[in-house]
Structure 1
Amino acid sequence: MLTFGLKGPDPGIPFEEWSAILREAGFSWMEIRAPEVPDPDWEERLRAWRERDGWSYSVHARFFGVNLSSPNPRVRRAAVEVALEDLAFAARIGARRLNLHAGDVNWYDVPPPGHPAHARMMEALNRLREQHQAAATRSIAEIAQAARPQGVEVVVENLYKPWELLCSPEEVAIFLGRLEGPVGFTLDIGHAALAGRPPVAFLRALDGWVRHLHLHWNDGAFDTHEFPELSIPGVAEVLQAVKERCPHATLLIEITPGSEDELERFRSWPAQVRKLLKAHVV
């Protein structure tokens, strides 16, 4: 059965009153951003919400300035150590999943289609991507091995820039196939739209790996994280495909409620999805 989630608050943001409201509405997962430094008080609060209100947690590992795909052994090692710190945080708060970005090739000067140098530079970029994919495979396999005995499932998500890894269903399928282990997939539908790929194409190609969805929307140009209203045809199409192909996945709105008015949108969303899918969802 499908489960509903949302992006959890950062430390210091009031959330106590909303926790019970959101649980009553049908949300049961929160995705927590891994902190830069340990915060025992924050971890204690997260454990209290889990024990009192029954939240399940996923942790979004750090990725700004952290590249698990670096072919440089020292840089890759440092990135893995950061991810292992985030795994330790996940274990301390009782999280069930750790979400990772596979990385990027650090080459941002990519000419658009139609430019005279586009084909030549894309060929060079793709050769570089292969090196980074191999490094990312080693990194994520190590993190998944460390996560398994702690009861934490590792998932990787699709990205969208030409220099980032895992931008297409085909690339994700090859990558996960090489891992040959219990690493799942997070489909970020906003990222898919920015990459020019229909989100449902990922579901068709990867339904056996899909554990988690990041739900938000954008105009196809910028990653603005707009609320995934069911009136948006692309959002409704994704939800129908999830019901058919991966009904045990977590539908997680990758936005944090920031006001009472916004809270009402979250509060009504699970019921709207149930009505759309005409199925019992918890």
Structure 2
Amino acid sequence: MLPLKIGACLKTGEIASHREWLFEADRDIEVQDFMTHAALTGEFEARIAAAKTALVGHAGRVGIHGPYEGLDLDNKDPELRPLITARFLRALEAADRIGARQMVLHSPYTRWYKNNLLCTKGYAEAKLKRIQSVLTPVVRAAEDMGITLVIENIQDVDPATRRKMVESFASPSVALSIDTGHAHLARCMSGAPPVDYFVRDAGEQLQHIHIQDVDGYADRHWAPGEGDIEWSAVFRALSTCARAPHVVLELRNKADIPKGYAYLKGLGLVA
């Protein structure tokens, strides 16, 4: 039901600037301090301590964005896959220690996948097997910790493909994330369906959404209202979700959070 309460994606050092808005309404926060090699190795303990301090007094839901650069979920090298798994497990430890109950990971599905799906026998099955090899230990650890891995669309063209991948784990600790800007880019660049179709296809699997606006050309991470996304359609679809997904503004310029929030509130879509 509209309006929906929304929060924001921030690094721990940025939370203080939006503390009143976030904390007084117990808004969702996605901590984005644990995405890099440095963050998960030499800086690990310092970043955990900083995140815990920044979140003191916050009673809303917390998630983190997991690492992704160079960490392909369906890496074809069998010697590299365990390294990727280990990196995800390290990030999951960070999430658990700061009290986060979600971790965002990136989808490995692309237009290349869609266009080549029927070119080679067993293409889809081989890709899924590699994904499961990387993620199964992470899923099991997430189950033990009570954390949900949410798989975000990046270059996905057919939302059903990622949904079926999530469903293949048959685990409550794997669900779907939607990035509104990525979905709109896929529509403009690859003929994907509109953003609200991504939401409706996700159904009960949708537990997280990044709110950002784009122009259909690049991954802008603009405030809502600055790009081309049909926000009323997106939020009408979100209002039918059986669950209450984490809904967070993911803007490149964090100073635009109040502006983006005000725009959506002016449309009667958010609280």
1:169-180 superposed matches below 5 A: 169-180=159-170
Deviates more, 1:208-217 or 1:72-81: 72-81
Aligned to 1:143: 138
Residue 47 of structure 1 deviates from its aligned partner by: 1.3
Residue 69 of structure 1 deviates from its aligned partner by: 0.8
Aligned to 2:31: 31
Aligned to 1:201: 197
Aligned to 1:9: 11
Aligned to 1:100: 105
TM-score normalised by length of structure 1:
0.78
TM-score normalised by length of structure 2:
0.81
Matched, 1:134 2:129: yes
- Structure 1 167/61 Cα, relative in aligned 2: closer, same or farther at 3 Å? farther
1:158-237 superposed matches below 5 A: 158-160=153-155, 166-182=156-172, 183-196=174-187, 197-229=193-225, 234-237=230-233
Distance 1:31 1:72 in 2: 30
Residue 137 of structure 1 deviates from its aligned partner by: 2.6
Aligned to 2:48: 43
Residue 200 of structure 1 deviates from its aligned partner by: 1.4
2:87 to 70, 82, 87: 82
Aligned to 1:155: 150
Which residue identity lines up with residue 4 of structure 1 in the other structure? I
1:9-67, Cα deviation, whole Å (9 max, x unpaired): 26xx4542431243336633233241243343332232123332334321111111111
SS of residue matched to 1:103: coil
Deviates more, 1:23-32 or 1:137-146: 23-32
Residue 92 of structure 1 deviates from its aligned partner by: 1.3
Aligned to 1:114: none
Distance 1:177 1:141 in 2: 13
Residue 195 of structure 1 deviates from its aligned partner by: 1.3
Which residue identity lines up with residue 192 of structure 1 in the other structure? A
1:139-188, Cα deviation, whole Å (9 max, x unpaired): 2232111111112111111121xxxxx44222123212211111110011
Residue 215 of structure 1 deviates from its aligned partner by: 0.9
- Structure 1 238/49 Cα, relative in aligned 2: closer, same or farther at 3 Å? same
- Structure 1 257/126 Cα, relative in aligned 2: closer, same or farther at 3 Å? farther
**Matched-pair contact (CA < 8 Å) for 1:69–1:103:** yes
Distance 2:132 2:229 in 1: 35
Which residue identity lines up with residue 276 of structure 1 in the other structure? L
**Matched-pair contact (CA < 8 Å) for 1:87–1:98:** yes
1:116-127 superposed matches below 5 A: 123-124=118-119
**Matched-pair contact (CA < 8 Å) for 1:58–1:96:** yes
- Structure 1 78/41 Cα, relative in aligned 2: closer, same or farther at 3 Å? closer
**Matched-pair contact (CA < 8 Å) for 2:26–2:60:** no
Matched, 1:276 2:269: yes
**Matched-pair contact (CA < 8 Å) for 1:32–1:57:** no
Deviates more, 1:17-26 or 1:55-64: 17-26
**Matched-pair contact (CA < 8 Å) for 2:26–2:58:** no
Distance 1:69 1:198 in 2: 26
Q: Which runs of no fewer than 5 residues in structure 1 stay unpaired?
A: 111-118, 161-165
2:258 to 255, 264, 277: 264
- Structure 1 60/85 Cα, relative in aligned 2: closer, same or farther at 3 Å? same
Distance 2:266 2:185 in 1: 26
1:109-147, Cα deviation, whole Å (9 max, x unpaired): x6xxxxxxxx7x675489655422321133223211111
